Amino acid sequence: MRVSPALQQLLQAAARTADAHGVRVYAVGGFVRDLLLGVRDEDLDLTVEGDGVAFARQLAAETGSICKGPSAFGTAVVITHDGHKIDVATARRETYKHPAALPTVEPGTIRDDLSRRDFSINTLAFALNGPEAFRLIDEHGGSRDLTEGVIRVLHNRSFRDDPTRMFRAIRLEQRFGFVLHRHTLRLLGRAVDKGWLELLSGARLWRELRFMLVGESPVACLKRLEELGILSRIDADLGLSPDRLALLTRVAEARAELAETHPDVLGQAWPVYLAGLFHGLDVNVLRRAGARLALAPRTIQELVDGLSAVEGAGRRLCTTDNRRPSEVVAALRALPLEMLPLLLARCPGREVHQDVERYLTTWRYIRPDLTGDDLKRLGVPQGPQIGRLLARVLAAKLDGEASDREAEEALVRSALVQIPGS
Ligand code: ATP
Ligand code: MG
């Protein structure tokens, strides 16, 4: 096991704090899993047999860090001055009053705490102090599953107790290239069939889906959600046909390319993937599924508008040949930039790609030399005509028909002659 010197010091500080206050502290969960996998993880998950929040405050005081919390679940976060994040929890026993309910919690031992976890690979722990210090605690076959690359729940009711684990299972599977253990897969299928997902609140469902969409492999996760019958449980009309899968794959490719060439336009990942998931479907499906996911009405409206902007731009760009720069700009200006990957996925041809590239590099920055005040000076009356004429001047400049200020003025004068006083 290798940890950075800074992390080593933190582990030692946590052990000293625990000794000084007579509690036992353990490194657990994702931190231990990633350590054994050799994946670099600078965040620490600690569980305390005793008062976790008090321990977190003491650790923060002794290391000159900030302590945040407690959260609604009685956990605290310590943030060190060099940016390490330490999640601290009290070891707990949990019982679920009914499926998908948030659990009833009471203090327990580290072994109680490990038994309530989602998958065997997340149940590994080691004490930082006391006689067991630095000996791996592996009560549920976690290190074997880690070696075999297997995601396995601890008991048959796991997905029923907490259906968000279905999403967590898929995320872990994709992240590490693992597979769901055969029995776990069967339990997951049964949980989907039984409708346990329907018991989750929209907010919890969306939180899980959003994690996937902003993660490293959103398309692979969506594909897995489809294969396991989960997408259609979110909304009956939601699905990943081969065409839609190909579209979303192109969205991911376009995002990867834009990340290299124009990172400023990317924005968050989830809106464009979510829009891609609803592309071509009736807008009511998006509204209904958005409501199921407890998305804010404004967010739903932005997605509806984004999709219609993609359609508008797509119709103008995909179907005409030899577009003038002004036509490209007119088509793209109404499109929120974060939706560009979806437009590129919808119109995968080389020409649209080049148009978008030129738009991003140059055309979007071009403005007429003349201003509204200049137009008024030339005799254009105050009112909507100023905007219309400025747009014509811009189009002429983009298309190379007005190369300097004089040419722009000439264009305005001739427009005024053609439509005097209008
Ligand atoms: P990541 O690297 O994404 O943070 P992680 O495994 O640390 O991975 P967290 O969401 O930070 O994931 O959770 C920390 C630990 O809490 C997990 O390793 C797991 O043991 C436990 N855990 C989290 N969510 C659940 C859940 N829904 N049910 C049971 N245990 C959970
Ligand atoms: Mg974590």
Q: Is 29 in the pocket of ligand 1 (CB under 6 A)?
A: yes
pLDDT of 314 over the 60 cut: yes
How many whole angstroms separate alpha carbon 59 and alpha carbon 68? 12
How many whole angstroms separate alpha carbon 290 and alpha carbon 50? 42
Please list the helix, strand and coil fractions of the chain in percent, rounded to the nearest 5, in that order. 60, 10, 30
Q: Is 103 in the pocket of ligand 1 (CB under 6 A)?
A: no
How many angstroms from the chain centroid is the CA of residue 383? 44
Select from 251, 412, 260, 398 the least CA-distant residue to 339. 251
Model pLDDT, residue 1:
60
Residue 199: both structure tokens together: 């018991």
Q: Is 92 in the pocket of ligand 1 (CB under 6 A)?
A: no
The full length of the chain comes to 422
The closest-lying atom of ligand 1 relative to the alpha carbon of residue 114 is 20
pLDDT of 350 over the 70 cut: yes
Model pLDDT, residue 419:
62
How many whole angstroms separate alpha carbon 145 and alpha carbon 154? 12
pLDDT of 103 over the 90 cut: no
Q: Is 215 in the pocket of ligand 1 (CB under 6 A)?
A: no
- DSSP 3-state assignment of 44? strand
In terms of Cβ atoms closer than 10 Å to its own Cβ (0-12, 13-18, 19+), residue 108 is middle
Residue 300: CB partners within 8 Å, gap ≥ 6? 286, 287, 290, 291
> In this structure, which residue's CA is closest to atom 21 in ligand 1?
117
Q: How far is the CA of 209 from the centre of ligand 1 (A)?
A: 15
The rounded mean pLDDT for the chain is 94
> In this structure, which residue's CA is closest to atom 17 in ligand 1?
29
Q: Is 165 in the pocket of ligand 1 (CB under 6 A)?
A: yes
Model pLDDT, residue 246:
98
How many whole angstroms separate alpha carbon 378 and alpha carbon 174? 63
Looking at the CA of 123, name the nearest ligand. Answer: 1
Q: Is 122 in the pocket of ligand 1 (CB under 6 A)?
A: yes
% the chain with pLDDT above 70 = 99
Whole-model pTM: value is 0.90
